[in-house]
Amino acid sequence: MLKINEIYASIQGESSHTGLPCVFIRLTGCNLRCSWCDTAYAFYEGNDLTIEETLQKVETFGLGLVEITGGEPLLQEDVYPLMEALLKKGYRVMLETGGALPIDKVPEKVIKILDVKCPGSGEEKKNHLENLKLLSPHDEVKFVLLDRTDYEWSRDLLQKHDLPTQVLFSPVYDKLNLKDLVQWILEDRLPVRLQTQLHKVIWSKDTIGV
């Protein structure tokens, strides 16, 4: 049984898959309280669904890309058989995780988006950095940046770890100017991908279920 906050279809707003139609499964609950969190509504609210009921709901959208997100989806043990079931049905599966819990049990074929917490989040001490050793080339690492301090912290961490993955730098929406972040990336010649939250550009920063 899974506690699910919402299941909906939208355009993928983040990662290197930005712009692709996608079904989102948002699981309830989170072990972190990031200062800039935009999904606090998923901390407690949700409905209990079986894996089969969840699959049936996903199938109604007729899309091949599915992202499991939260909250923190890895808090729920049944997320693992859910991922296996989605893969078995031929879906391309993404997992967005906050990086504080081990990812060693996540199926290899799942595209993991590992969100490393920067100092501005207030949760950087909870990063499980051993996860960085478990990433595959199809996975991605995301840094959500609040300010210049977060940028420098992320840049320095990247210099210590030889990651095989795509690295994403994402500014906290309405807090860090995109032009500033672009300038810093170019000055340091960082091999990272700039991203913004496309869904907030299309709708608004307060709209949910998109």
pTM: 0.91
Can you tell me the distance from the alpha carbon of 3 to that of 78, in angstroms, rounded to the nearest whole number? 10
Architecture in CATH of 2-202: Alpha-Beta Barrel (3.20)
Instruction: With cut-offs at 50, 70 and 90, classify the pLDDT of residue 198.
Output: confident
CA 203 to chain centre: 19
The pLDDT tens digits of the residues spanning 76-133 come to 999 999 999 999 999 999 999 999 999 999 999 999 999 999 999 999 999 999 999 9
So where are the chain's domains?
Answer: 2-202
pLDDT tens digits for range 22-62: 999 999 999 999 998 888 899 999 999 999 999 999 999 99
Q: Which two tokens stand for residue 74?
A: 């890895």
The C-alpha atoms of residue 22 and residue 58 are separated, in whole angstroms, by: 10
Read off the amino acid at residue 195.
Q
Strands 2-11, 47-49: pairing is antiparallel
Intra-chain end-to-end CA distance of the chain, in Å = 24
